[in-house]
Amino acid sequence: MTELIDRVREAVDILDVIGEYVQLKRVGKSYRGLCPFHVEKTPSFYVDPAKGVYHCFGCGASGNVFTFLMEIEGITFREALQRLAKRAGIDIKEERRERPELRLLKETAEFYHRQLYKPDGEKALYYLRERKIPESIISLFNIGYAPPAGTVSYLKNKGFDHSLIIKTGILTDTGKGFRELLRDRLIFPITDEFGRVVGFGGRSLDSSVEPKYINSPESEFFKKGKILYGFYQGKKEIRDKKSVIIVEGYFDVLAMHLVGIKNVCAPMGTALTEDQTQILGKYAEKVYLLFDGDEAGKRAAMRSVKVAMSKGVFPYVALLPRGEDPASLYQKGKSDVVIDTLRNAKNFADFYLAEASSIEEKVRLTKELLEEIEKIDDPVLKNTYIEVLSSVSGIKELQLRNVLAMFEKKFLKKKSEGFSLEMRLVITSLFDNEIREFLSENIDPQDLDDEDAKSILQEFREGKSSEEILTLHPKRKEIIEYAMKYIDLNERVKKDIKSRIKELKFYKERKKIFTKIFEKTEEKDEIEAYLSHIMDLKKKQFRGD
Ligand SMILES: [Zn+2]
């Protein structure tokens, strides 16, 4: 893959690609034009064809030919790669020749689907009709039927060898010999995010046959933690709506499609995994967890909320009446309950804190949420989370930021490599006058713990320019590397950097107060101690003592 990316990068001319969007004029070794990412009258957008990068000195947009296309067209990395490969005449299909295992799985899915309309498959078809699943959905999801026998001989006739049939889990070793794993079951082919069949789910058609559901065994292609049922079929809607609804099972996905809600999929287990959320995050900003309102459903929702937050997808929770799911409600003709439940979805904090029955629990759950908020890199999203948590918990945003600063401090103690938060803010200020002024106004060099950050801020105060400081700085290379990699200053980001500086200021100012509080509570977790302290104060104010 890396090889392919390099080949494509070398084969396309960044000037050609960017030139389609921006009129570029040569200036020295670089080319200059009006930035396509912000409105400007004098050109500050530069392309360096030798390095294969672009940079805008106005808004800070920078990157390579892939990021340019991704940003300007709003497409994924893979899509950008495909377009550029096509442009360069590199055949991606040839690069990633379909593996025989995937061909076998695809062939098997087609075979199962055809069996649905054979005499053996009649009961499966009858079952689908009973659950009110129309032909259009059967065909969209390629639902099938695995006959009691015959799948293996069909595949062998098609030229697939025995070992491959075992490897893909179609045949399984029972200890007493090999058997077809999914015989006499209704089949849901499971595809990855690109629509390739990677495994199967099989539902028994006879209530006496246990277990009710069997999945293909885990393999190199079929990793349950990385697959979302129905994602491929809902992908377009998920991308258009920038939101996704998570349901629990195969039939729930179908039921949602049947009421016209297509931005939906199901994890291959009870709760969302990090890998699954990572996939969702490429297409969606919000995730709605539409689960059964029983205890198991609530637990799954709590786990999923945290995973979604940590991956930067804003979670909402919508719990159905106990014991119900979208499929059961659809069958009863009560899909309006599903739609109402979704309409009344609670944000993560509302849902989470409603579960607290005591102040201790509220402290614990608030801390859990803050732990997830701390992991988020996107400052805009982080602020949104803080605002939401503040309004739900009644704890002031400032106080929540204090707690986050405490987490950050803990984290920095552990982490020795890379730049500290203080240094990252100072580096950013090297590249932007506005940020630099803001930083100098708000932070006193003496308050900084990071020696590098302290000395740079001191030099600013002495009137040195960024160039002077940078040119002579012993860590110049690392600083520029960091800036090239991470600093992307548009108005939105600037605003958030300022709020980070304010956070730092508040933290420094309150450090002394914290120290006093913590002296009394040495044994206790200091963050929990601080949160209880805030909540206690609130209670007292409320009671008026
Ligand atoms: Zn720009």
Residues with Cβ within 8 Å of 371's Cβ and at least 6 positions away in sequence, in order, are 407
CA of 380 to the centre of ligand 1 (A): 19
Q: CA 150, CA 180: separation in Å to the nearest integer?
A: 9
CA of 523 to the centre of ligand 1 (A): 51
Classify strands 45-48 and 53-56 as parallel, antiparallel or unpaired.
Answer: antiparallel
CA of 58 to the centre of ligand 1 (A): 5
CA of 389 to the centre of ligand 1 (A): 34
Burial class (CB in 10 A: 0-12, 13-18, 19+), 252: buried
CA of 242 to the centre of ligand 1 (A): 25
CA of 74 to the centre of ligand 1 (A): 16
Reduce the secondary structure of 324-381 to three states and give it as a string.
CCHHHHHHCCCHHHHHHHHHCCEEHHHHHHHCCCCHHHHHHHHHHHHHHHHHCCCHHH
**In this structure, what DSSP letter does residue 21 have?**
T
Sheet holding 197-204, edge to edge: 144-146, 185-191, 197-204, 213-215
Please, which residues bridge with residue 26 across strands? 31
Q: CA 110, CA 105: separation in Å to the nearest integer?
A: 9
CB 314 within 8 A of CB 301: no
Which tokens belong to 453? 């950050």
Burial class (CB in 10 A: 0-12, 13-18, 19+), 417: exposed
pLDDT of residue 512: 57
Count of residues making up the chain: 545
CA of 497 to the centre of ligand 1 (A): 18
Per DSSP, helices labelled H in 131-249 are 135-140, 151-157, 162-167, 231-241
Going along the chain from its start, the domains and CATH numbers come out as: 2-95 (3.90.580.10), 100-222 (3.90.980.10), 228-355 (3.40.1360.10), 360-543 (no CATH)
CA of 24 to the centre of ligand 1 (A): 14
Mean pLDDT per 10-residue segment, the chain (545 residues) = 75 90 86 90 86 82 87 87 87 68 95 96 96 96 96 95 93 86 96 91 92 91 92 92 96 97 93 91 92 93 92 93 96 96 96 88 90 81 92 90 77 56 85 86 86 90 78 75 70 81 76 58 66 74 50
At residue 292, φ and ψ (nearest 5 deg) are -60, 140
CA of 60 to the centre of ligand 1 (A): 6
CA of 467 to the centre of ligand 1 (A): 21
At residue 276, φ and ψ (nearest 5 deg) are -65, -40
CA of 56 to the centre of ligand 1 (A): 5
CA of 233 to the centre of ligand 1 (A): 37
CA of 30 to the centre of ligand 1 (A): 16
pLDDT of residue 254: 98
CA of 275 to the centre of ligand 1 (A): 33
449: helix, coil or strand?
A: coil
The residue to which tokens 């001319």 are assigned: 13
Q: Nearest to residue 291, comparing CAs of 318, 273, 256, 323?
A: 318
CB 487 within 8 A of CB 428: yes
Give CA separation, 29 vs 26, 36, 47, 333, in Å.
7, 21, 9, 68
Give CA separation, 401 vs 24, 405, 499, 502, in Å.
44, 6, 10, 10
- Computed on alpha carbons and rounded to an integer, the radius of gyration of the chain in Å comes to 28
CA of 44 to the centre of ligand 1 (A): 7
CA of 61 to the centre of ligand 1 (A): 6
pLDDT of residue 315: 96
Furthest-apart CA atoms within the chain: distance in Å: 88
The helix-helix angle for 451-461 and 421-430 (nearest 10°) equals 30
Q: Nearest to residue 268, comparing CAs of 327, 222, 206, 220?
A: 222
CA of 40 to the centre of ligand 1 (A): 8
pLDDT of residue 243: 96
CA of 57 to the centre of ligand 1 (A): 7
Residues by chain with Cβ below 5 Å of ion ligand 1: 35, 37-38, 56, 58-59, 61
Give CA separation, 259 vs 79, 111, 140, 234, 380, in Å.
30, 29, 15, 13, 34
Burial class (CB in 10 A: 0-12, 13-18, 19+), 303: middle
CA of 62 to the centre of ligand 1 (A): 9
Residues with Cβ within 8 Å of 518's Cβ and at least 6 positions away in sequence, in order, are 526, 529, 530
CA of 239 to the centre of ligand 1 (A): 26
CA of 287 to the centre of ligand 1 (A): 31
Burial class (CB in 10 A: 0-12, 13-18, 19+), 119: exposed
CA of 41 to the centre of ligand 1 (A): 11
Which tokens belong to 248? 């629990």
The helix-helix angle for 359-375 and 526-543 (nearest 10°) equals 130
CA of 39 to the centre of ligand 1 (A): 7
Give CA separation, 10 vs 6, 17, 90, 130, 322, in Å.
6, 13, 11, 57, 57
CA of 441 to the centre of ligand 1 (A): 26
CA of 47 to the centre of ligand 1 (A): 12
Neighbours of 345 (CB within 10 A): 18
